[in-house]
Homo-oligomer: A and B are copies of this chain.
Amino acid sequence: MSLIDIEQGRPRDVVLMGRVTLDFNPNEIHRTLDKVKTFSMYLGGSPGNMAVGISRLGKKVGFIGCVSDDRFGDFALNYFRSCGIDTSRMVRAKNGERMGLTFTEIKSPAESSILMYRDRAADLMLTPQDVSEEYIASAKILIVSGTALAASPSREACLLAARYARKHGTRIIFDIDYRPYTWQSREEISIYYSLLAGMSDVIIGSRDEVNLTELLPEDAAEPADCLLADRYIANGSKIVIIKHGKKGSLAYTADHRAYRVSSFKVRLMKSFGGGDAYGSAFVYGLLEGWDVPRALQHATAHAAMVVASHSCSDAMQTAEEIAAFIREHADEKVITEIDWEEAL
């Protein structure tokens, strides 16, 4: 019996909610942003990237989101459609709100930073009225990005979608995905993150993001990851993945098994985009009915492949490509089962 009981007969594998934005990545890299002359435009936003990733892996994907009513909104919808993502539930912002933008500074392979345009971003204009109970009920999995909780009415759209998912047995994956925009206080972050976490089957976040969720100090290392996982699992979650950047990540499951996940060795092009690739392949593994270690192996492989390329969405791989990558790196052991209390 699987850890997560997925309703197999449903027409759609995954529905995602959250931001779809535009990434402007510098063509002249390894310099600060004010020295850049030209940028390449890609579809972006963590859940947008994951939608593309999961779709490229061959799954049926739908998205509930809001884009601008301008050429950039056209771009996002066209890109989604070209990937085979269902856009029937995508809406347009009604009051001239623009797409969120992310200008990426790639100062060196290891140092990236971003300059975001998120004032009145179109994605945050999604309303609870835009959320179809039937559509949520038709999906096996709902993925909610924590950034969508950062402001109303997108916040309420997500809370309502999660309520519908719980009612209809749609599994919820909460990708904490913290961005320091539009939140009013650390307390506010914790309130909404912990509400969503409390409704989720799978929780994925960095240790920093888990600290935010639990209203712990920013760099708290205590309580240990396994104790936090205990809390979530006691509360009903089945899988808890806590990431620690370059040091790898830890995965805890409701059958009381724990795994350490390391990175494959690749030449880094940029230090972002890996998380979305990781999430996409992990969800793919869950949908395939794989055991957790195998899903994690594909996740970390996919992450390695994407950070070695210029974009996030465009660089998403097929299942065959990931499999080939893993075969090529067969000598690297990246997944290790560990004791529950063992730290990274």
Q: Is A187 an interface residue (CB 8 A)?
A: yes
- Contacts of A78 on B, CB cut-off 8 Å? 34
- Contacts of A98 on B, CB cut-off 8 Å? 115, 117, 119
Candidates B70, B127, B163, B184; contact of A153 at CB < 8 Å: B184
Q: Is A120 an interface residue (CB 8 A)?
A: yes
Seed contacts A24-B24, A153-B185; 12 additional CB < 8 Å A-B pairs:
A33-B72, A33-B75, A72-B115, A97-B119, A98-B117, A119-B119, A119-B120, A128-B188, A129-B187, A152-B184, A159-B195, A160-B190
Q: Is A32 an interface residue (CB 8 A)?
A: yes
How many protomers of this protein does the assembly include?
4
**B-contact bits for A52-74, CB 8 A (1 contact / 0 none):** 00000000000000000011101
* Bound Cα distance from A72 to B194, whole angstroms: 35
- Contacts of A33 on B, CB cut-off 8 Å? 71-72, 75
A–B Cβ pairs within 8 angstroms, 30 of them: A24-B39, A32-B74, A34-B71, A34-B72, A34-B74, A34-B78, A37-B41, A38-B40, A39-B41, A70-B115, A71-B105, A71-B115, A72-B103, A72-B115, A98-B119, A120-B120, A127-B185, A127-B187, A128-B187, A128-B191, A129-B187, A152-B152, A152-B184, A153-B188, A156-B187, A156-B188, A159-B191, A159-B195, A160-B190, A163-B194
**B-contact bits for A107-140, CB 8 A (1 contact / 0 none):** 0000000010101100000011100000000000
- Contacts of A152 on B, CB cut-off 8 Å? 152, 184, 188
Kindly list the 3 A-B residue pairs having the minimum CB-CB distance in the complex, ordered from nearest.
A128-B187, A33-B71, A34-B75
- Contacts of A194 on B, CB cut-off 8 Å? 163
Q: Is A101 an interface residue (CB 8 A)?
A: yes
Candidates B37, B40, B117, B129; contact of A101 at CB < 8 Å: B117
| A68 CB, min distance to chain B CBs, angstroms | 9
* Bound Cα distance from A150 to B300, whole angstroms: 43
**CB neighbors of B among A21-63 (8 A):** 24, 27, 32-34, 36-41
- Contacts of A32 on B, CB cut-off 8 Å? 71, 74
Contact B127 A160 (CB under 8 A): no
- Contacts of A163 on B, CB cut-off 8 Å? 191, 194
| A166 CB, min distance to chain B CBs, angstroms | 11
| A81 CB, min distance to chain B CBs, angstroms | 12
**CB neighbors of B among A134-165 (8 A):** 152-153, 156, 159-160, 163
**B-contact bits for A187-206, CB 8 A (1 contact / 0 none):** 11011001100000000000
- Contacts of A191 on B, CB cut-off 8 Å? 128, 156, 159-160, 163
**B-contact bits for A290-322, CB 8 A (1 contact / 0 none):** 000000000000000000000000000000000
**In the complex, what residue of chain B is closest to A40 when comparing beta carbons?**
B38
- Contacts of A75 on B, CB cut-off 8 Å? 33-34
* Bound Cα distance from A163 to B193, whole angstroms: 13
Given A37-B40, A75-B33, A115-B70, A129:B27 Cβ within 8 A: no
- Contacts of A105 on B, CB cut-off 8 Å? 71
- Contacts of A70 on B, CB cut-off 8 Å? 115
| A113 CB, min distance to chain B CBs, angstroms | 9
